[in-house]
Amino acid sequence: MTYIMTGIEGFELTAQDLHNLNHPLTCGVIFFKRNFKDYHQLLALVNHIRAIKGDDFILAVDQEGGRVIRFGLPFTQLPPLGLIGQTYAQDQDQAKTLCHLHAWLMASELLSIGIDLSFAPVLDINNGSDVIGDRAFAATPQLVTEMAELYCRSMQSAGMKTTAKHYPGHGTVKADSHFELPTDERSKNELFNSDMQPFSTLIPTGCIDAMMLSHVIYSQVCDLPAGYSQLWHQDILRSQQQFQGVSISDDLGMKAAECVGDIQQRYQACVDANIDLTLLCDAKLCTELYSNNRLKNMPNNPAKLIKIKRLQGQSTLDTRQPFWEQMRWQQARKALVTLMAEL
């Protein structure tokens, strides 16, 4: 059993969305730019989903900063994580302050409107990837690790669980898995000594609540992408590295995900690897998957579902009023604006 987090089509729920949300495999929704018109529309959409599915249903988004921001103003338009690494080279204290404010503002704003998760932070290194680049903190595993731990702790202090991505590292392989199938031909030792280091170092600290596995084939280790691989998920991440949190396979609609076949085969690959949760960001593709009536009768996995529900956020701001009206947010936002002006 692998649970599904689905995308929805637009500013309001459609009949197709309602069908997908009510399927027994669906345990959450992931939002995109297509779902955001303004703050009040998004709040109404969140409240509608909550009214149907309840508080245990997980709502998520990619609100990383830089190129990956799904919600516009009044949400803070945060810089890319790469700016934190660049700042570190000039002033370590300023970089740490920027890292904390970035994480706290991102998490606090989303939680205050009822969204549990931003899939963050990126633990990849900036080492030639077309899709990662300045989404990464830095080009060295050591600096990525240091900043990522601070970022995770700041997210958690705001009440949001953390999701490290894209395990075991997407930052060195050049191809973008959204549009083609990347293959990393380095040995396991080379991977563990570079891209894997931030993940390996931070897993024992307890600051990673969920792990998103990449759709990259590491050909010297396994012939399947990590998100479909029992070797990567069960043998390495779970058994060897003792990761106890939620495992998430990247979007099944990505071009790289097609390497195992149609949507039914992609979902089955996640099941075979015993992945906890997978993303299906295209609502139509989710409907296609759910056309298989066999899936309606799959037995629930209560332990896995309970673990996923632990990703629910707990806002430290007052959810009864907009975040921008609250003193703690105002102070943090002012500190960020002042710091950015100095850089």
* Residues forming a β-bridge with 61: 31, 118
- Measured CA to CA, the distance from residue 249 to residue 213 in angstroms comes to 5
Map residue 7 onto helix, strand or coil.
strand
Active site residue 134: no
Active site residue 170: no
Whether 28 contacts 56, CB under 8 Å: no
Alpha-helix runs per DSSP H in the chain: 15-21, 39-53, 82-90, 92-112, 141-158, 188-193, 197-202, 230, 263-272, 283-290, 302-309, 327-342
Active-site choice (250, 251, 276, 282): 250
C-alpha angle 235-236-240 in degrees, rounded to nearest 5: 90
Sign of CA dihedral 99, 210, 205, 136: negative
Nearest to 125 by CA among 193, 177, 68, 66: 193
- Measured CA to CA, the distance from residue 256 to residue 215 in angstroms comes to 6
| DSSP-derived secondary structure for 114-179 | T--EE---B----SS-SS-GGGSS-SSHHHHHHHHHHHHHHHHHHT---EEEEET--SSS-S-TTT
Active-site choice (19, 23, 48, 178): 178
Nearest to 343 by CA among 76, 93, 72: 93
Alpha carbon separation from 3 to 57, 69, 278, 298, 332 (Å, rounded): 12, 25, 6, 11, 36
- Measured CA to CA, the distance from residue 13 to residue 148 in angstroms comes to 35
Q: Which residues are catalytic?
A: 178, 250
